[in-house]
Structure 1
Amino acid sequence: MRISRRHLGVLGGGVLATPAFAQTPAPTDPRLAERSTGQANAPVVVQEFFSLTCGHCANFHNDIWPQVRRQLVETGQIRMVWRDFPLDGIALLASAVARAMPADRYEAFLTALFQTQARWAFAQGRQAEELARIAALAGMDREAFNAVATDQEFHRGILSQRLAAEQQYQIRATPSFTFNGRLHTGGLSFAEFERQVRSAPRT
């Protein structure tokens, strides 16, 4: 999904590039730590920059990611790193809720959010309520959900990481991927994803 002025304007109730959102997130918050899967010494590190309300991102996770995991992650060929790149306020909230889950349950919750995207992301006027229900099924009670939803410093940390990625890689759409630092923008079939892995620069 292409980034538009409308998307930038609704993130966190303000423009992403304001000084408040450009601050470096506190490194002591474990919720902002890297979320990844795969062997630490895998020869190719793939980063995916995604928005949880992006339909193209959902297509990748629902249709392509399971095969990528089986054939490339579990065989030690790549390490997959997930990078939040929320395009709107509800995507930001969903990213925060996912990161507030225990790290070992992050991937499963991410999968659940993409599989149920039509249920919560586009439920006009009920997005947060539907998201809270899905979080409850994953073990997050409403008090904890509300705490995450109102934690502005946490939200600023996520947006700060997004801004850093946007500046470093010149990302203009989701999903975007880097293969050992080389950028590809847009969705990929498994065959195309595998070709990107095979041709990724090696150090």
Structure 2
Amino acid sequence: MSATTRYAAMSRRAAMTAAALTAMVALAGCNSGGAGAAAEGDMAMGAPEGAKVTVVEYASVTCPHCAAWQDNTWEAFKTAYVDTNKVRYVFRELPTPPAPVAVAGFAVARCAGEDRYFQVVHELMSDQRAFVSDPRTTLMRVGNGVGLSEQEVQACITDEAALKAADDRAQAATKAGVTTTPAFFVNGTQVITPGGEGPSMEDLSKAIEAELAKG
């Protein structure tokens, strides 16, 4: 039995939930309406709610393109727009295969607390290959690094209320018409760079600056 299979078996409910999330994503339509509106469970950085420009990213800790975007574009985007409070950056979870592993990763990030949520998410993406091949070891290591004990990590990934909340967030994503990750929306309008792992800094900047320039 592989490490991923062993890990998924730790919580039958988690695996069932993740399968449901994947099915809902596959059945989602193409309407992007609603992707820019505030949603339950949003995790955010930068400008406060109500900012002139909101950038929403739908992503997964098991998505290779999401990890590539983080490696290649995140720091430049963060420095230019998040650290300067020019935009409100909102991250939304959309688990991708192996979905049970993604669900568990997001659960641990939330258990780490709002101040360390992004630290966990970014670390899992940075070490994505190890995370997918040996999720239990990786989650325990990352969880310990933000102050969670092994018992707390185990409790995070089997918490029924957390799994129900993950279901709700996935349903909200499908209602917004999001079917791929990473997906970026600037004030509700999707920004796409053809052939890339996500929008380029150039395309994101063009969309953001156009919104900032509006009266």
Is the TM value for this pair above 0.5?
A: yes
The percentage of aligned residue pairs carrying the same residue is: 25
Could you tell me how far apart the structure 2 residues matched to 1:62 and 1:164 are?
27
Give, in angstroms, the shift of residue 199 of structure 1: 3.4
1:173 is aligned, of 169, 175, 180, to 180
Tell me if structure 1 keeps the 8 A contact 2:60–2:94: yes
Give, in angstroms, the shift of residue 89 of structure 1: 1.0
Q: Partner letter of residue 12 of structure 1?
A: T
2:20 is aligned, of 15, 19, 22, to 15
Question: What is the aligned length?
Answer: 177
Matching residue of 1:137? 145
Give, in angstroms, the shift of residue 98 of structure 1: 0.5
Give, in angstroms, the shift of residue 59 of structure 1: 1.1
Give, in angstroms, the shift of residue 200 of structure 1: 4.2
1:55 is aligned, of 61, 64, 72, to 64
1:83 is aligned, of 48, 67, 92, to 92
RMSD: 2.2
Greater displacement, 193-202 / 56-65: 193-202
Flag structure 1 segments of 5+ consecutive residues without an equivalent: 1-9, 19-31
Matching residue of 2:75? 66
TM-score, structure 2 normalization: 0.74
**Alignment of 1:187 onto 2:198:** yes
Q: Which runs of 4+ in 1 moved over 3 A?
A: 199-203
Matching residue of 1:92? 103
Flag structure 2 segments of 5+ consecutive residues without an equivalent: 1-14, 25-39
TM-score, structure 1 normalization: 0.78
Matching residue of 1:38? 46
